[in-house]
Structure 1
């Protein structure tokens, strides 16, 4: 798995409707890309947004980064939507997990 984390803050003068249209179109386009696994976005109370996308591998994530329509919208983002952003990308992230449902199922079997 290849993980991409996009932290950003929007400009105060953002055209929210235009941004929403572009964001919706980009999510739909990303979901159709080879190697796409998942996408979620979270907004904090202070206005920072964290978007997380998961890809099958680095090549799939880089392919998305070079997709022509996505590249156009990235430029629009820098020009009109974002005050700042940071992109984090990592191959083979170290993953730890816990799932209460699995623990309950194991307890029920005992």
Structure 2
């Protein structure tokens, strides 16, 4: 299993942002096999972690045309900056 960690400094997040986030989340689950998605915001900082079965699913998601438009809007207006990390989950513990 792999995880994508998205860390961002928020910019102008309007109603179109909330709509796009919902659409992208639905697309990630329905078309690309996203396993789970968690996002939190504290002040200007946003952290989102999504879990994926493999790197191919992550790459397909990254290259999706609709997602590319969302990424462009993110760079132009919704975020001041962001960092994306792709990591492999080596172990998992639960309680």
Query: For 1:94-105, what aligned pairs fall within 5 Å after superposition?
Result: 94-99=90-95
Task: Give TM-score, length-normalised by structure 1.
Answer: 0.79
Who is 1:2 aligned against?
2
Task: Give TM-score, length-normalised by structure 2.
Answer: 0.91
Please report the RMSD computed on the Cα atoms of aligned residues, expressed in angstroms: 1.3
CA distance in 2, matches of 1:2, 1:85: 19
Change (3 A) 1:39 1:79: same
Secondary structure of the 2:9 match is strand
Is the 1:35–1:57 Cα contact (8 Å) retained in structure 2? no
More strand by percentage: 2
Query: For 1:1-110, what aligned pairs fall within 5 Å after superposition?
Result: 1-11=1-11, 14-44=12-42, 46-91=43-88, 93-99=89-95
CA distance in 2, matches of 1:89, 1:34: 16
Give the gaps of 5 or more residues in structure 1.
Answer: 100-110
